Amino acid sequence: MKIYKVLPDLSKERHMKIWHKALHSQWSASDLPWKKPLGIRSPKLLDQMGRLLTPVLMGEQAALYSVSGLIPVLGKTSEVESQFYLTTWAVDEARHTELFTLFYHRLGREPLPIRRFPQGYLFQSAIVSDDPAEWLSGVLVSEVTAKKLMEEFRRVDIDPLLTDIADGILLDEARHLGFNHIYIEDKFKDLVTEDPEAADRLETHLHERIRGVHELLGPALDALHDEMAALGIDRIELYDKVIDEAAHRLQKSIDSGRRLAAREAAVESAEPALAVMAV
Ligand SMILES: [Fe+2]
Ligand SMILES: [Fe+2]
């Protein structure tokens, strides 16, 4: 264990703000009205839902696994504010895992086993990384996919409880994406100042990583093409929207970090001149 300081700085204001927001926004599966009648009657559609939700439950468990694993990693670099936030992110993913497990009980169905859905497992495995920036850019693809699927579940509204679950998860996902932005932005703000060439290399690497993870999403969605069609979800449109949004979000965070670094550099170079003018 490495703790460099007993008294943490806790000076990253936005990290602290999103951590407090996450603390105040917690909710529980036991708050939901599980006794509401199931909106799906057809056995065929129940079977299809059982298969379609497989990557969702797999993704929630993979997220719980990887978020929890990053908490000690951030401790090694004394990123205590980020550690704080990730404790709530882990709680969120644990809640999502519980929600979909209970939803499977409600459906009376089981998810596909890994041997019948290796594409989903390969997609999730590609996201795991011990490097926070690398993990955050890979996880952007699965978080955006989850967000799009929850929006679709809300739109088709085939079961009142699934709609409630989607509503709650969308609020959680908005925070996860918010933290992703803050962390990558900060990373680039610092790196551009310290080593601009390393910042350029990291930008290229993170985009390559997003493309690599995204390529594995295609086969996972293909395997569930018929199930998505049964619900009126367009697989091609979903895939295209995910890559556009994930790449756009990553670039926005990087550009914003670069702008902040340039602004700080401009203020620093103006300070001596302002001091002379004040005399
Ligand atoms: Fe989740
Ligand atoms: Fe998430």
CB contact at 8 A, 137 and 79: no
Distance 188 CA to ligand 2 centre (A): 23
Residues 6+ apart with CB under 8 A from 146: 56, 59, 169, 173
pLDDT value for 87: 98
Which of 1.10.240.10, 1.20.1260.10, 3.90.1480.20, 3.10.20.600 is the CATH number of 38-267?
Answer: 1.20.1260.10
Distance 6 CA to ligand 1 centre (A): 32
Distance 173 CA to ligand 1 centre (A): 7
- CB-based contacts of 238-242 (< 8 A; 24+ apart in sequence): 238/145, 238/148, 238/149, 238/152, 241/148, 242/141, 242/144, 242/145, 242/148, 242/214, 242/217
pLDDT value for 38: 97
SS3 string, 185-238, reads HHHHHHHHHHCHHHHHHHHHHHHHHHHHHHHHHHHHHHCCHHHHHHCCCCHHHH
CB contact at 8 A, 32 and 100: no
Distance 140 CA to ligand 2 centre (A): 9
The environment of the single-atom ion ligand 1, i.e. residues with CB closer than 5 A, is 60, 93, 96
Minimum-distance ligand to the CA of 169? Answer: 1
Distance 194 CA to ligand 2 centre (A): 31
pTM as predicted:
0.94
From first CA to last CA, the distance across the chain in angstroms is 50
Minimum-distance ligand to the CA of 89? Answer: 2
Q: CA 44, CA 30: separation in Å to the nearest integer?
A: 28
Q: Of 130, 89, 140, which Cα lies nearest the Cα of 247?
A: 140
Minimum-distance ligand to the CA of 173? Answer: 2
Distance 61 CA to ligand 1 centre (A): 8
pLDDT value for 270: 78
Distance 101 CA to ligand 1 centre (A): 13
Minimum-distance ligand to the CA of 57? Answer: 1
pLDDT value for 41: 93
Report pLDDT digits (tens) over 193-225. 999 999 999 999 999 999 999 999 999 999 999
On the CB side of 210, CA atoms within 13 Å amount to 23
Which DSSP symbol is given to 1? -
Average pLDDT, 10 consecutive residues per value, the chain (279 residues)? 80 97 98 96 96 97 96 93 98 98 98 97 95 96 96 96 98 97 97 97 97 95 96 94 96 98 87 59
Q: Give the H or E element holding residue 22.
A: helix 13-24
